[in-house]
């Protein structure tokens, strides 16, 4: 009898020890070291679930076991409190920290970057690659005429509202919320300093951006941009056609053209500034901030012409007279012929 009582006592003590160990493990993960490898979890706005979260944690090997996670999820009612979003979980995070972050919807922001964009469809593709909504959702929204009008633009100049930069946004940002944000960024971009410089150009905001897009396509040398902008502003002021080759490439639909020929300049398009005087109806690309500021800070000079240098450096020779320009143009044409560039 005494022997049986002793055995039972040992079993009870062992049970308490095992239970204490189990509780120790549970509480260890609750407060420390649940996440064993840093990673990012995405919970979609539609169809996101506790099961999806668990699957992601295991597939990405961010947690060794979900036993303690499951236990505390039931205890806290966490399973029905999953918030959509993008969450960066760091190595060493506890279960409590994971619950608090995802349960409160404390997302990790996306560093959304876009530049070197030519068209709204290209912009939609770039955004759709980085946010929850797909490219088609962004495209359908951006190409809607009533949307452009809502923000004070039209279909041809709407791309000028989007200032290339890196922005912090939530992964769950909708097309409308994104576009609202870009309108605020556009308005902030046109601060008092830029507004003061705008008066000097005699152009509207949208015209400055349209001209900046041409300047951006003319040169990769940022230091040349104000001089090129000055040439075009000189032409606008005397009613001279811009005759900008990048607008011809846009009209033809081929920005890879190395050589703009006479037949290209006869392309019937409102964007062809050889055929139509003044600025085109909208930007031929999304201009860089450098190009926009170059127009606002255009150089005050007498040049009316410029031509790419014959050394293919990407820089230009500037001229005041047509005779001087023709000499520069012949030198460049000879270099093209010598290089067999058709």
- Decide if 309 contacts 334 (C-beta within 8 A): no
d(CA 187, CA 178): 14
Q: Is residue 55 part of a domain?
A: yes
| pLDDT in the model for residue 48 | 86
pLDDT at 1: 52
Q: Do both 56 and 92 map to the same domain? A: yes
Q: In the predicted model, what is the mean pLDDT of the chain?
A: 89
Per the DSSP assignment, residues forming a β-bridge with 145 are none
Q: Which of 104, 130, 156 is the last residue of a domain?
A: 104
Among 72, 104, 136, residue at a domain's last position: 104
Please tell me the least confidently modeled range out of 16-20, 68-72, 95-99, 102-106.
16-20
Q: What is the DSSP letter of 79?
A: G
Does any domain span residue 123? yes
Residue 204 has a pLDDT of 96
Residues facing residue 111 across a β-bridge: 168
Residue 317 makes CB contacts below 8 A (sequence gap 6+) with 306, 307, 308, 309, 328, 331
Claim to verify: residue 197 and residue 297 sit in the same structural domain: yes
Identify the band that residue 68 occupies on the pLDDT scale cut at 50, 70 and 90.
confident
CA–CA gap between residue 308 and residue 325 (Å, rounded) = 11
3-state secondary structure 273-314: CCCCCCCCCCCCCCCCHHHHHHHHCCCCCCCCEEEECCCCCC
Per the domain annotation, does 342 fall within a domain?
no
Q: Is residue 180 part of a domain?
A: yes
Inter-residue contact 230 to 301 (CB < 8 Å)? yes
120 shares its domain with 203: no
| 339 vs 243, higher pLDDT | 243
Q: Are residues 285 and 266 in the same domain?
A: yes
Whether residues 209 and 198 fall in one domain: yes
Q: Does residue 25 register a pLDDT over 60?
A: no
Least confident stretch, 74-83, 93-102, 208-217, 297-306: 74-83
Mean pLDDT (whole number) for 308-328: 90
Give the end of a domain, one of 162, 189, 216. Answer: 189
pLDDT of 8 strictly over 50: no
DSSP letter, residue 266 = T
Structural domain includes residue 318: no
d(CA 305, CA 269): 23
Query: For residue 322, is it within any domain?
Result: no
CATH of the domain at 37: 3.30.1490.480
Token pair 């050394």 is found at: 311
3 falls within a domain = no
Domain count, the chain: 3
Is 7 a domain residue? no
Can you give the three-state secondary structure of 202-254, one letter per residue? CCCHHHHHHHHHHHHHHCCCHHHHHHHHHHHHHHHHHCCCCCCHHHHHHHHCC
Average pLDDT of 256-273? Answer: 90
Least confident of 66-70, 163-167, 319-323: 66-70
Would you tell me how many other CB atoms lie within 10 Å of the CB of residue 91? 12
- CB of 315 within 8 A of CB of 227? no
**Which structural domain range is residue 55 located in?**
24-104
pLDDT at 2 over 60: no
Mean pLDDT of 265-293: 95
The total of other beta-carbon atoms located within 10 Å of residue 141's CB is 17
% the chain with pLDDT above 70:
90
């Amino acid at each position: 009898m005494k022997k049986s009582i002793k055995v039972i006592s040992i079993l009870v003590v062992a049970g308490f020890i095992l239970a204490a160990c189990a509780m120790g493990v549970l509480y260890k993960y609750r407060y420390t070291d649940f996440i064993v490898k840093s990673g990012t979890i995405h919970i979609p706005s539609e169809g996101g679930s506790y099961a999806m979260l668990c699957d992601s944690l295991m597939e990405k090997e961010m947690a060794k076991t979900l036993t303690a996670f499951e236990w505390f999820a039931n205890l806290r009612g966490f399973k029905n409190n999953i918030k959509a979003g993008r969450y960066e979980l760091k190595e060493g995070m506890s279960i409590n920290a994971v619950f608090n972050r995802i349960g409160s919807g404390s997302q990790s922001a996306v560093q959304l970057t876009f530049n070197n964009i030519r068209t709204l469809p290209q912009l939609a593709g770039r955004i759709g690659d980085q946010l929850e909504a797909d490219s088609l959702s962004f495209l359908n929204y951006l190409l809607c005429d009533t949307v452009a009008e809502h923000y004070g633009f039209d279909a041809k100049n709407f791309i000028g509202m989007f200032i290339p930069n890196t922005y912090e946004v939530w992964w769950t940002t909708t097309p409308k919320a994104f576009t609202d944000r870009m309108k605020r960024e556009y308005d902030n971009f046109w601060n008092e300093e830029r507004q003061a410089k705008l008066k000097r150009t005699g152009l509207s905001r949208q015209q400055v951006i349209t001209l900046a897009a041409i300047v951006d396509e003319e040169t990769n040398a940022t230091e040349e941009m104000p001089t090129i902008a000055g040439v075009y502003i000189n032409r606008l002021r005397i009613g001279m056609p811009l005759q900008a080759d990048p607008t011809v490439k846009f009209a033809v639909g081929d920005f890879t053209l190395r050589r703009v020929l006479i037949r290209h300049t006869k392309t019937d398009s409102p964007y062809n500034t050889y055929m139509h005087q003044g600025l085109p109806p909208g930007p031929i690309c999304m201009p860089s901030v450098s190009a926009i500021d170059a127009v606002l800070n255009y150089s005050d000079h007498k040049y009316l012409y410029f031509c790419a240098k014959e050394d293919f450096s990407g820089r230009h020779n500037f001229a005041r007279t047509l005779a001087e320009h023709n000499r520069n143009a012949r030198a460049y044409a000879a270099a093209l012929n010598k290089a067999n560039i058709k």
